[in-house]
Chains A and B, each alone.
Chain A
Amino acid sequence: MVTINGKPVEALAGKPLSFLLAQYAQHQDNVVVELNGSIVHRNEIDGITLNPNDHVELISFVGGG
């Protein structure tokens, strides 16, 4: 089962990473993806398919500085 920010989510294995982003990131421009502990750079997202037991972390930024 694929885990997103520590929570297991069903039926994501086999889907593209870009699908997960579209579903779970509110503002994709404000998000950087980590897959199994490594940052996935923006030009690498297309072409990645989620495997069972993948750990995805969505690093979401908020405004203010």
Chain B
Amino acid sequence: MTVQIDGISVEDFFMQMKDRNVDNSYQALKNAHVTIAGSGGLGSNIAIALARSGVGHLTLIDFDDVELSNLNRQQFKFSQIGMPKVTALKQNLLEFNPFIKVDAIKTKVSAENIEQLFADCDIICEAFDNPAAKAMLLDGATSAFPDKPLVMGNGLAGVHGANQIQTKQQSPNVYISGDGQTSGSEGLMAPRVIICAGHQANAILRLLMQLPVVENKEEI
């Protein structure tokens, strides 16, 4: 029996998706597992981009609940205030793409649980707010999983020029998107958060499709 949701089968859905997605992306993305650490401004936007693109398995990790102050940039709704962010985000993702697998883990990532939380994924995506947590994950993930790609965000605050947000390859398996400088204390606005999230999500798609993340201009 074919699984149907609102009369639409998984085949219908993916046929439509394949029509508009890039050729040859379907298989690589469908079989991929990406774990996103943090479900705030970066994490919620990255997860939506990956779900819409057809990444087959997403794991969301966050310890926080949705608050009113999140709604200026995080992809939650007024009706979701008070819910765990991972629960609310999972709900939203499955409305955009009901045919992917989403695991929601409400916990705080620490040096002690990195090895367990990220053991199963193909790519680790860092989407924290806190700079010490970002550094801790870079330290811990590259130590436990030196061969696993890690895609990070760093510097996306304010309303500075959009083109200052770039993606660079920090080391063979570490990619960092952002302007590297602007800090959340000056205020975080949806556009630059979404731009950085887009950089990270695109880096993840390129990794999954075995394309070089940072390409030369003439290769675009």
Question: For residue B43, which residues in chain A have a CB less than 8 angstroms away from its CB?
Answer: 65
Contact check, A63 vs B171: say whether CB atoms are below 8 A apart: no
Given contacts A32-B138, A41-B139, contact A61 B131 (CB under 8 A): yes
Question: For residue B42, which residues in chain A have a CB less than 8 angstroms away from its CB?
Answer: 65
In Å, the complex CA distance between A29 and B183 comes to 15
CB distance from B190 to the nearest CB of A (A): 12
In this complex, the interface size class of chain B, counting residues with CB under 8 Å from chain A, is: 35 or more
Question: For residue A64, which residues in chain B have a CB less than 8 angstroms away from its CB?
Answer: 41, 129, 155-157, 182-184, 188, 193
Given contacts A63-B131, A63-B185, A64-B129, contact A41 B142 (CB under 8 A): yes
**Interface flag for A37 (CB, 8 Å):** yes
Considering only residues 1-49 of chain A, those with a C-beta below 8 Å from chain B are 27, 29-32, 34, 37-39, 41-42
Considering only residues 160-201 of chain B, those with a C-beta below 8 Å from chain A are 170-171, 174, 176, 178, 180-185, 188, 193
CB distance from A23 to the nearest CB of B (A): 18
Contact check, A65 vs B139: say whether CB atoms are below 8 A apart: no
Residue of A nearest to B158 (CB): A64
User: A37, A41, A60, A63: which has the most chain B beta carbons within 10 Å?
Assistant: A63
**Interface flag for B16 (CB, 8 Å):** no
Interface SS of chain B: helix, strand, loop or mixed? mixed
**Interface flag for B220 (CB, 8 Å):** no
Question: For residue A34, which residues in chain B have a CB less than 8 angstroms away from its CB?
Answer: 170-171
Question: For residue B185, which residues in chain A have a CB less than 8 angstroms away from its CB?
Answer: 63
In Å, the complex CA distance between A30 and B155 comes to 13
Considering only residues 127-156 of chain B, those with a C-beta below 8 Å from chain A are 127-132, 134-136, 138-139, 142-143, 153-156
Task: Return the contact of A63 from the options B170, B174, B184 (Cβ within 8 A).
Answer: B184
User: A31, A37, A62: which has the most chain B beta carbons within 10 Å?
Assistant: A62
In Å, the complex CA distance between A49 and B102 comes to 46
Considering only residues 3-53 of chain B, those with a C-beta below 8 Å from chain A are 38, 40-43
Contact check, A39 vs B183: say whether CB atoms are below 8 A apart: no
Instruction: Return 18 A-B CB contacts under 8 Å, by A number.
Output: A27-B131, A29-B132, A30-B131, A32-B135, A32-B138, A39-B138, A59-B138, A60-B131, A60-B180, A61-B134, A62-B155, A62-B181, A63-B129, A63-B183, A65-B40, A65-B130, A65-B156, A65-B193
